[in-house]
Chain A
Amino acid sequence: MQKMAVSTYILGISCFYHDSAASLIKDGEVLAAAQEERFTRVRHDSSFPINAIKFLLRQANITIEDIQIVAYYDKPFITFERLLESHLATAPKGLQLYLKTIPVWLSRKLDIKSEIKRNLKSLRKNKRSKLPELLFSAHHQSHAASAFYPSPFHDAAVLCVDGVGEWATTSLWQGHDTKLTPIKELHFPHSLGLLYSSFTQYLGFKVDSGEYKLMGLAPYGRPKYAKKIRDELIDLKDDGSFRLNMTYFGYLESTQMIHSKFTQLFGQPCRKPETRFSEFHCDIAASIQEVTNQAMIRLASHARSVTGQKNLTLAGGVALNCVANTQVFQKAGFEQVWIQPAAGDAGGSIGSAYLAWHQHLKQPMKKKDKDQMQGAQLGPDFGREQIFQAVTASNLVYEELSDSDLTEQVSNELVKQSVVGWFQGRMEFGPRALGQRSLLGDPRSPSMQDQMNLKIKFRESFRPFAPSVLAEKAADFFEEPSISPYMLFTAKVKKSTAAEPGQSLNDQRKSLTSDYPAITHVDTSARLQTVDKDISPKYHQLLESFFKKTGCPMLINTSFNLRGEPIVCTPQDAINCFMNSNIDVLVLENFVIHKSRQTDPVYHKYQQDLAPD
């Protein structure tokens, strides 16, 4: 074990694929983390996270010279080897993919050391100062570390499931104290993440972006094609291991996820984006969701029998599928399940930083009784002066309230059916808005779902919203809710009746009965966030105030952004979003801005030419 004299700062980086991000840990504790997209305003930005790193340095009040280690979340040489092996396996097919990927790899990605060093050099104050040591961890190793080290457990089974890293697409680990031991894995091209993405493309959504829409569409259908998927597309074994029948998939040798044989199997062409959904599309979504659930349950059950652990931690893009997560929690036999809130590639930056601390520097694990992600509140926050400047520069009419007046007034607005842009404290790390950068509404309102979907977020109307609920009241309103601070589990809404699949999406929504229709899906499930007083005191206070007035301890919580945009980061981003949508009230810390009180006509014109997401 090495002796540490001064504080050790480790910078974790994930980039060059999608959702680039950077994280900073100090003496083994997460100080800050952020995704690059929030700063560049380019959704799923894959570029080097230079802006995120600048924020981390500002937040910790240090310079790049104070960082001892930079850890990158992937092993680029092994990924390149996998690309070459894929071409060897399919040539002479695959020329188009070869011409697209190989030049980028040869010119930039392969020499990632130079690329990272070049960017780090631009941050140096003293041009002669030495750069930090550069380390690399394997992609799934980074995922596993991001799931285990910040979890509340000292012992756990770890399951990582995603599209692909270097070779691994699924991996099973055992975590004990600082030791993270790999046990089993599955290799490319056999990937549950890429199977799900293939169906995402088939249903006309964007790959690496629209997977959550597919999950949202599934409850509208029946899993009629699940058997066909199991018989033809995937050979799923009892232990959860699987292989895909690659004659149906194109991603090994082309830029398309699926072959024409895939569409022939189901008898219908790919759905064109932005066209209406038929019963067939809903049934396909339901079918692939069922197969995914089944695979995840088997994988997790196998992890339990192999490791003998009672705790499970999850990471990888597939771990953002809250329906599958809930099935795992209910059926795989674990007592506790914890999921990294930034389960996708962004979270790999935290994992690689932790690996540098525990495995490279061999530092011990501190005693922990709760998770180390601090409610995912790891991004930038903004003081009164910065908000005041943004508000006055935009010529907004505002009022500034005390904390108690604020929650009182905002809950009144919510009762009056206003949509509130809620901007508080440090921005969330990961894809979910958790009450720091959220749009809030009344879940009791039958029209609120349409109002927020169509008039504010300008997105598809079939998608219900997620509720934030007071943690201590969750059991009164949901059946067997798990602790879900990161909105990664679902639960059935009590006293609600499911719609009958087979009708149109609108008819299904109309036939659903629930006291909280805006947050209840047609199968009566809700993707809930349980709000803890210790983690989010102000948001908790607002929920309590709304509960006292209405008897309803929950609010609609959707991300504070417009369609196709990243979640807002700065007060100015929030003002821009407020300006370009029908949000009624904007709350920037203790500043309250009502749309109806604005005299400048610019705040009453809405920009609606938004990019599809």
Chain B
Amino acid sequence: MTIFKRLFHYWKLFGKTVFHGLALILLVFTFYMVLTPLGWLRRKFSKAPVQLNLDPEAKSYFLTSHPESNDSMTTPY
């Protein structure tokens, strides 16, 4: 019985390692192959929501707020 327990333990460990390894590869892949080119295109061709530039000539950086709709609390977005 003990030997099966130990084998199962190593099998689980192996499974976890493979899972984390694959997840890491997938995450790195999506970061460089999806997010990076999309980000480049976004910065090149449209006004990104994350504004990084300063505008010394501007009088204000405030954005106008938009009131939430009546049923806005029913959704997590």
Q: Give Cα A173–Cα B68 distance, bound, in whole angstroms.
A: 13
Residues of B within 8 A of A136 (CB): 73-76
B65–A171 CB distance below 8 A:
yes
Residues of A within 8 A of B35 (CB): 84, 87-88, 91, 98
A85–B62 CB distance below 8 A:
no
B18 located at the interface, meaning its Cβ lies under 8 Å from any Cβ of chain A in the complex: no
Which listed segment binds B: A211-219, A353-361, A417-425, A493-501? A353-361
By size class, the interface of chain A is 35 or more
Residues of A within 8 A of B42 (CB): 88-89
A141–B68 CB distance below 8 A:
yes
Min CB distance, A67 to chain B, in Å? 16
A356–B73 CB distance below 8 A:
yes
Q: Give Cα A167–Cα B51 distance, bound, in whole angstroms.
A: 12
By size class, the interface of chain B is 35 or more
Within 8 A of B (CB), among A106-142: 112-113, 135-138, 141
B52–A89 CB distance below 8 A:
yes
B37-77 contact mask (Cβ, 8 Å, vs A): 1 or 0: 01110110000111111111011111111111000111111
Min CB distance, B30 to chain A, in Å? 9
Within 8 A of B (CB), among A144-179: 167, 171-173
B73–A98 CB distance below 8 A:
no
B76–A92 CB distance below 8 A:
no
Q: A71-B73, A89-B43, A136-B76 are in contact. Are A246 and B52 (CB under 8 A)?
A: yes
Q: A89-B50, A89-B52, A182-B65 are in contact. Are A237 and B59 (CB under 8 A)?
A: yes
Residues of B within 8 A of A356 (CB): 73
A-B contact count (CB 8 A): 125
Min CB distance, A425 to chain B, in Å? 34
Min CB distance, A373 to chain B, in Å? 23
B28 located at the interface, meaning its Cβ lies under 8 Å from any Cβ of chain A in the complex: yes
Q: A89-B43, A91-B39 are in contact. Are A135 and B65 (CB under 8 A)?
A: no
Q: Give Cα A76–Cα B77 distance, bound, in whole angstroms.
A: 7
A99 located at the interface, meaning its Cβ lies under 8 Å from any Cβ of chain B in the complex: yes
Partner of B77, one of A78, A86, A89, A183: A78
Q: A85-B49, A185-B65 are in contact. Are A237 and B60 (CB under 8 A)?
A: yes
Which listed segment binds B: A187-195, A442-450, A542-550? A187-195
A58 located at the interface, meaning its Cβ lies under 8 Å from any Cβ of chain B in the complex: no
Residues of B within 8 A of A91 (CB): 31-32, 35-36, 39-40
Partner of A187, one of B27, B51, B76, B77: B51
B23 located at the interface, meaning its Cβ lies under 8 Å from any Cβ of chain A in the complex: yes
B24 located at the interface, meaning its Cβ lies under 8 Å from any Cβ of chain A in the complex: yes
Residues of B within 8 A of A112 (CB): 76
Beyond known contacts A186-B62, A235-B56, A235-B61: 19 more, CB 8 A cutoff: A75-B75, A75-B77, A77-B77, A82-B49, A88-B38, A91-B31, A91-B32, A103-B23, A136-B74, A141-B68, A172-B65, A182-B66, A185-B62, A187-B63, A189-B50, A241-B60, A241-B61, A252-B50, A355-B73
